[in-house]
Every structure is written in structure tokens, then in C-alpha cells.
Amino acid sequence: MTATSPATTRSGPHLVLLTVYAIFVLAAGARSLVQVFTRFDEAPIAYSLSVVAAATYVAGWFAIRRAAAGSAGFAKIMLWVELAGVVTVGVLSLVVPSWFPDASVWSKFGSGYGFVPALLPILGLLWLWRGRTSGPTEGV
């Protein structure tokens, strides 16, 4: 393995993705725990979905880390699952607002977080696709 292989590269877009995922693990995780333990009866669907979002960010962080080391299979699955979750919850929060008397992390496509929840899996998938098409430059 050379210094430019994915397993040894410690700078670049994946570090930004890892940092944002870590922030969302903390933000979504703390938010969901507070919601579930203090007001769960007010919006059980929204708060349960916040827990799911937090768990997805934990899995996403590990997936991006593994993909940066050369194993992208789990990341491809997780990022598509995450994107499907954001889109599904985003649409449901607009179509059936009674299910969301309080917002979840993915409500209205993550508008409470500046739409970063909607962009994050898209950026991750673009990073994976770009890495697949460009590949490492070993031996150059």
C-alpha cells in the first residue's frame, strides 16, 4: 500500500464527512434522548424517528470510516438507507403534520438543521462515487 491509498489517506472529504457525522451523532442523539425521556407522550412518532436518525448517524460514521479504508459496501447501503429515511420522514412531516406536533431531526427534510440531514447522505454518496471513478493513483 502506498501513501496515497485510501487506507492511509487521513485528509480530504471523508474527514469532513466524519466530522459532520460526529456532530450529528451528538446533536441528534442528545436531542432524541431529551425528547424521549422528558416529553415522549407529546410526539411519540417524531421522537422515535429522532432516535432512528441518531442511530443512523452512528452507523453512517462507521460506514464512512470503513469506506475511507477501502471497504465501501456498508457505506453504500447506509447512505441510501439514510437518504430514504430523510425523504420519507420529510414527506410525511409535510403530508401528515399531525404525526409531527414537534419536529424530528428529519422533519421537513432536516429544515431545523439547515437541511444538512438531507445533504449529508447525498454528499456521502457523491464522495463514494467520485472515489470509485477516480481511484487511487498507486504507482504514479
Task: Confirm whether 4 is domain-assigned.
Answer: no
Task: Confirm whether 63 is domain-assigned.
Answer: yes
Burial track 95-110 (b if 16+ CB lie within 10 A, e otherwise): eeeebbeebbbbbbbb
Can you point out the beta strands (E) in 1-140? none
Q: What radius of gyration do the chain's Cα atoms show?
A: 17
Instruction: For residue 108, give its domain range.
Output: 13-132
Residue type, 8: T
Residue 53 · residue 105 · CB < 8 Å: yes
Total number of domains constituting the chain:
1
Map grid coordinates 487521513 to a residue: 10
Task: Confirm whether 3 is domain-assigned.
Answer: no
Task: Confirm whether 29 is domain-assigned.
Answer: yes
pLDDT at 131: 77
pLDDT over 60 at 137, yes or no: no
Task: Confirm whether 140 is domain-assigned.
Answer: no
Chain segment 24-39, per-residue pLDDT in tens: 999 999 999 999 999 9
Question: Taking CA 137 as the corner, what is the angle to CA 131 and CA 140, rounded to the nearest 5 degrees?
Answer: 165
Give CA–CA dist 49/130, Å, rounded.
31
Cell of 86: 430523510
- Rounded to two decimals, what is the model's pTM? 0.82
Chain segment 51-110, per-residue pLDDT in tens: 999 999 999 999 999 999 889 999 999 999 999 999 999 999 999 999 899 888 999 999
Task: Confirm whether 73 is domain-assigned.
Answer: yes
Task: Confirm whether 31 is domain-assigned.
Answer: yes
pLDDT over 60 at 48, yes or no: yes
Task: Confirm whether 106 is domain-assigned.
Answer: yes
Cell of 90: 420529510
